[in-house]
Each structure stands twice: as structure tokens, then as C-alpha cells.
Amino acid sequence: MSANKSCPLFLFFFFIIHLLAAQSFAANSTILSYEIQPFIRVYKNGTVERLIGTDTVPPSLNPKSKVLSKDIIIQPSLNISARLYLPRSASATRKLPLLVYIHGGAFFTGSPFTSGCHGYLNSVVAQANVVAVSVNYRLAPEHPLPAAYQDSWLVLKWIFSHSKQGGGGSEAWLRNNVDFDRVYVSGDSAGGNIAHNVVARAGLESTGRVRIRGLFLNCPHIWGKERIGNEASDPKMVAVEDNIWIHAYPNSTGFDDAQLNPDYDPNLSKLGCKKVVVYVAENDILRDRGLQYKKALEKSKWEGEVKSVDVKGASHVFNLNSPKSKDSREMLKHFALFLNDKEKFN
């Protein structure tokens, strides 16, 4: 009898506890843990709200350029995928250069499937007449760095498996159309950071007989502890850059981590390619770091050629934000020359 009387009391307390928990969850769903404009908001209950880079467009046959694209899942358990691009001139009898492209978004946002990224890759593939693989890596904060580095390396290894030396790759667009002696890696902003780190790893680890020919960086996300150039004149943007790294890679060694600041990479001289172009924009907080990256490569005794292009009056990743501008069109032409070994470094 006493057990039966205690049951309603137990249910009452059970209900109260769950009600309080629900109220706490609801309250935390509106309380910010942190916010990094214009990229992301993270709430106390763990909810992540991405503010940009969330739109998607399907792969297609571009009616103007006739570039064909498709999506492929590479590692289902990790949700790692890529969007592949094939120019209309593709033929099994004529092998083409390969571009491995890594999108930006402060490590928190974006994908190969956004309209901006998709449109840009269509333009590059048509202009340069190359095959392209646009990497879809896992995003912070749910998957903090080094996840994006590891994912991009996994995709690179998957790509290289389609070479004659690699053996096992089954994707026909890569097996039938790519000249694996002409592989290039590129990225914008955070994607530029990831691209650098992938090529740096390729200089230290075996990639079979495939070698990366060149690296093309667009306003790369490179940073450091001490202020250089004009960084100190914009404390608001300095705070943004600091917060990006703190929350994207909470277990890093700090702002002079070699993955963020190549000046502190003891293996920089082993960068796994022979040609590098770095684009920077005059009105970008990351400008001086991009220029410093060129100096660091030269100082490291790396046995390659490096060139920087400083675009006057331009802002961060100007070519993606204003793809039809004169500077953007010039950059696209330059990129196409680079991907076809027509870059002049002297």
C-alpha cells in the first residue's frame, strides 16, 4: 500500500525535474555562447546557427560554359564528399590538368554546393580547361580543426588513387581525363589555409608517385600572435581573426601554431610543390600575412618559385564577392595561366 502511495509522489518529482530541464534547455537556446560575425552564432545549448554559406545548388550541365558537374560521396561515415567538374572539351584521348579546390568560410561555413562556390568553379573550369574536384570537408565547431585538414588530405589521397600508380580509384572522370603530372591545389580564405596545410603535408608524406605541381592561394587565412604591417590599426578585425582560430581549433598551440602561422613551421622548406602564387587584397586584414607567407617561403630555402599579387583597392576574396569586376576577371585569367603552366615568375 505504501509503495502505491509513493508512486504518485515519484511521478510528481519526475515531472518537476523534466519541466525544469526543459525550461533550462529553452532558456539556453536563446543565450549566446559566442558569436563571430558574419559567420556563426553558437548558443549555450549547443545549437549552431550559420549566418552565411548555407544556400545550395545542384550539380548540373552549365548551359553557357557546357561544364558538367556531379557530386560524389568519398567517406560516408564522415560525410566527406566532393563536387566534380568536367569541361566540355574533356576526352579520354587528351588528358587535362586537375584542380583540387578547397572553399573558405572561416572553417565554420560554406560548402562546394553553395551558388558562389559552384559558379566560381564553373568559371575556372571553363576558362582554364581543367578537371576540378571541390572538397566538402567537415565544419567547426561541431568538427573542430584538425578535422578539415584530415578530411582534405583524405580526399587528396582518394584523388591520387586514380592515377596509374595509385591503382584502385574507380571514378571514371578522374581515371579517363586527368593528367596526374599536372595536379594543382587552391583555396580561398580558410580554404587557402587548408590548401597550404595539405600541400605542406604532401611534402612530408608519401603520395605515391603523384606530385602536386602548384599551389594558388586567394587571401589565405594566415595569422599570428604578434601584429605585423597594418594589423594593429584595426583592433575589431584582429579580435575577429583571433576568435575564429580560438573556436575553430580550441586544442591548437595558439596563434603561432605552424598550421596558422607558417613562419613557425620548421618544415616549410619541404612544401610539397614547386610553384606558388599568393593573391592578397589591399583592404583585407589578412593582406600582410599573405605577403609575409611569400617571404617565409623564400627565407626557408624552399626550392620553388613563389609570386605574390597585391590587388589595390580590393577587399577579402573580392573575386567571389564581385566575380564580374575587372580585378576578378584578371585574376581568373591569371589562374587559368597558372593551371596550364604558363605562369611567368620572373
Active site residue 308: no
For residues 102 and 137, the answer to whether their CB atoms sit within 8 Å is: yes
Say which of 189, 206, 252, 269 is annotated catalytic.
189
What residues pair up with 82 in beta bridges, in sequence order? 72, 135
CB-based contacts of 6, cutoff 8 Å, min separation 6 = none
Q: Which residue in this structure is represented by grid cell 596545410?
A: 197
Q: Kindly list the distances between the CA atom of residue 300 and the CA atoms of 262, 263, 271, in Å, as whole numbers in the listed order.
A: 10, 9, 10
Could you give the CA distance from residue 231 to residue 121 in angstroms, rounded to a whole number? 31
Calpha distance 98→83 (Å, rounded): 13
Integer Rg of the chain from CA? 23
- Beta strand 80-86 pairing with 131-136: antiparallel
State the CB neighbour count (10 A cutoff) for residue 15.
Answer: 10
Q: Looking at the annotation, which residues are catalytic? A: 189
